[in-house]
Amino acid sequence: MTGHILEALSTREMARGPFENPDSAAQAENWQHWHLDRDSNEVAWLIFDKKDAGANVISAGVLEELDRIVSELESKPPKGLVLRSTKPTGFCLGADISEFTELKSESEVVEKLSRAHEVVDRFEALSFPTIAVIHGSCLGGGLELALACDYRFAIPGAKLGFPEVQLGLHPGLGGTARFTRLVDPIEAMTMMLTGKTVPHFKARKLGLVDQVLEERHVEAAIAAAIAGDIEQSSKSMRGRVLTTKPARQLEARQMRSQAAKKAPPENYPAPEALIELWEQYGGDSGPSMRKEEIASFARLMMTDTSRNLVKVFFLREKMKGLTRTGAEPVRYVHVVGAGEMGADIAGWCAFQGLNVTLFDMEAEKLADAVGKLSALCEKKHRSDSQRRDILDRLTPDFSNRGVEQADLVIEAVPEKVDLKQKVYEEVEPRLKQGAILATNTSSIPLETLGEKLKDPKRLVGLHFFNPVALMPLVEVVNHDKAAKKVVDRALAFVGQIDRLPAPVETAPGFLVNRALTPYLVEAMVMLDEGVAAESIDRVAEAFGMPMGPIELADQVGLDICLSVAEMLRDRLDTKLPPAPDWLKQKVEDGKVGKKSGEGLYQWKKGQADKQDKTKPAPDDTLDRLLLPMLNACFACLREGVIEDESLVDGAMIFGTGFAPFRGGPMNYAHERGMDDIRESLEALANAHGDRFRPDEGLRNLGAAHE
């Protein structure tokens, strides 16, 4: 309740000029997405308020109206203009991505974008001072519009950035030229190449905004800007030096090297296109860079990479939508078990604003959990006061008393049925009415875990992925006896903590571990055949995986990989090969990967120690790794473990890092062709064994798409 009151107060305090009282403001304008009026000082206030939308985005309709508004302002100039939004979400989230899918050719993109540039260029050329007042999120096309203003004022809490690279693109509304001219071009390029946002104080330091001020000072600052009493940001010395092409070429080489490590240009062409654009045209003061930006953007938009990354954007939105169940929010979480996962889950919940108690009988583990949360606050650039508030929300609980107060109890003890059931035996009688009992099991079917519960309706699976603060996916596991309202509340909780849900039915390994295990096991088989670990990993990384299966197994832990593989082999009608004896011995010897310092690789300072030169892997390596994963996805769809193909793609991208530019395993399978997948699996089965036989689900999917 308090949060809603504060939000209402902050909205009321927002400086709106002549729109201070929305009910009495002039409503004679002919715009759907804008409000325009003048205050008593003849300062025009242009309010961006996209119709029927919770957040502002730049669409064709928005720009068409802006064009007419600019004409009106040109015909009767005010003393100055204030541009701002009154949406609670912020200034603007960027372009309307849904319109991207309507554009079918480069020429069509060039035509649309050229028209958009004309509008923004006219807005920039207005003969009076223009001031953008920015609160909340100011991203992509929204930031490009703000860059066309003479001044930018940020309200504390504002976040600014260019996330276009995440869609396989770079800024396309003049941002590449305006941003690199306004601030240190190396800083500007770094922001655009990484897609990272910066908070208000960093934006001020960069010169991206001219002032950071509280709402109560906005109107005074506007008056000062119009009077010419506020100094505008100016380019740094390094920026002036980099107007020469030889200097840019030198910097561009460094940029290419850094960008290629994270985003190989053959898979992600946008960073290279942006670097090329700045290298060639970044020193020009005229419109040449903006013109070339349009052509470059159009080429990128037609690439498979961009098309697939746009699909991934909509997958994310679809999964976010699953959390909007209308269920009562969770306010108090109690976590049982302060091991690696339990500590991280508790810390993340506290970080996201929930009150959390964490139970463990080992004081050292509880202390480590608090330390990890403190480190997370530092990594996420939280202020000292914010850090104190976050740490205050996490309470170490030696006596397990948090059970009685919690809306949600999450069990995160080791993967042993008897141990988990013992926890439930102690916890269940003490749960308050309406509380949920969740398990973080990664593979144990919930019907097994719930056998001894008096009320299994309140049990649900919440399978987080490691590391919790980095991996956005949570598998929300349903079972036959679970109450719908319990599952709905669990889905809503996942949204509360800024994670993405994959709703799955209880089954051995659920979806992600079921699909990932054959991939990892086949890598072990290839190691057993004498193929070098580095060679196997290089094949997977060339395909687009964030790391190869050998390194991933070490990251996950060989003990966990072995346990899940053996469970799947026991519980499923599968032909998974047995684990090699040497792998079992490694686990027995405690050489389980990164966490022990040695596994399939030696680990030094958190990095796998790899040889640069090894014999290339066999030609069929990629298919041997990848197709068993796809086969397991087909099986999960056939068995109803997960509802549809798009959720499979989302779960595997956000839960395993499956090459995002390929749009997910199911998207990849369709683009490659189901017949080719089936024939390749049959060929592998004939060469290497029945574990490669195509699942019946593949035949069903192929027939459904014919």
CB 236 within 8 A of CB 206: no
Alpha-carbon separation of residue 207 from 125, 154, 204, 290 (angstroms): 21, 11, 5, 21
Cβ(360)–Cβ(340) under 8 Å?
no
Catalytic residue among 144, 505, 522, 645: 144
Give dist(CA 70, CA 46) in Å, integer: 10
Q: Which of 65, 164, 340, 505 is catalytic?
A: 164
- CA 203 – CA 624 distance, rounded (Å): 48
Here the tokens at position 508 are 């051995």
Task: Determine contact, residues 146/138, Cβ cutoff 8 Å.
Answer: yes
Cα–Cα distances in Å, from 272 out to 214, 225, 561? 39, 38, 37
144 catalytic, yes or no?
yes
Tell me which residue of 448, 444, 410 sits closest to 427, measured CA to CA.
410
* Contact criterion met (CB below 8 Å) for 305 and 273: no
User: What residues contact 544, with CB distance under 8 A and at least 6 apart?
Assistant: 267, 659, 660, 661, 662
Distance CA 183, CA 181 (A): 6
Starting at the edge strand found earlier in the chain, the sheet holding 436-439 runs 394-397, 355-359, 332-336, 408-411, 436-439, 459-464, 473-478, 500-505
Say which residue the tokens 């011995």 belong to.
Answer: 585
**What distance in Å separates the CA atoms of residue 658 and residue 519, rounded to the nearest whole number?**
12
* C-alpha torsion angle, residues 594, 357, 322, 454 (rounded to 10): 100
User: Annotated catalytic, 215?
Assistant: no
The answer to whether 469 touches 349, Cβ cutoff 8 Å, is no
Contacts of 337 (CB under 8 A, 6+ apart): 359, 360, 411, 412, 413, 414, 423
- C-alpha distances in Å from residue 187, one per residue of 132, 170, 205, 239: 21, 15, 11, 10
- Do 279 and 630 form a contact (C-beta atoms < 8 A)? no
Residue 287 CB: number of other CB atoms within 10 A?
14
Residues marked active site are found at 144, 164
